[in-house]
């Protein structure tokens, strides 16, 4: 298989893991104030995110080697950067301040 196709496939996998990871984090944080047992919710959400992260990147490393693992990690970090910047801008807009980034 062509190396570029390998990199693209594992980059998509890393982005999917990143979106799922931060989506679960967002849902967990939003539900903490409404939960009767916030500790259980935080523990369960953290374990779920950890398992997703480890399984996703272990599969990328096993099936894709170092190129699969690095391309997955790079796309995970790109998703993280995009989400952090977007949340930072929306929080700054809600507070009525300018974003420094």
User: Residue ranges of the domains in the chain?
Assistant: 3-95
The pLDDT-based confidence of 101 (bands split at 50, 70, 90) is low
The pLDDT-based confidence of 94 (bands split at 50, 70, 90) is confident
pLDDT digits (tens, 9 = 90+) for 30-71: 999 999 999 999 999 999 999 999 999 999 999 999 999 999
Q: Which region, left, alpha or beta, applies to residue 34 given φ > 0 means left and ψ of -120 to 50 means alpha?
A: alpha
Residue with tokens 């949340």: 87
pLDDT digits (tens, 9 = 90+) for 60-87: 999 999 999 999 999 999 999 999 999 8
- CA angle, residues 13, 17, 23, in degrees to nearest 5: 145
The pLDDT value recorded for residue 87 is 87
């Amino acid at each position: 298989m062509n190396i570029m196709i390998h990199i693209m496939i594992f980059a998509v996998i890393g982005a999917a893991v990143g979106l799922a990871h931060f989506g679960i984090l967002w849902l967990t944080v939003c539900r903490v104030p409404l939960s009767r047992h916030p500790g259980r919710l935080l523990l369960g959400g953290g374990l779920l995110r950890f398992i997703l992260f480890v399984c996703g990147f272990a599969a990328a490393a096993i099936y894709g080697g170092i190129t699969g693992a690095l391309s997955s990690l790079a796309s995970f970090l790109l998703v993280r950067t995009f989400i952090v910047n977007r949340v930072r801008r929306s929080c700054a807009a809600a507070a009525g301040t300018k974003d420094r980034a």
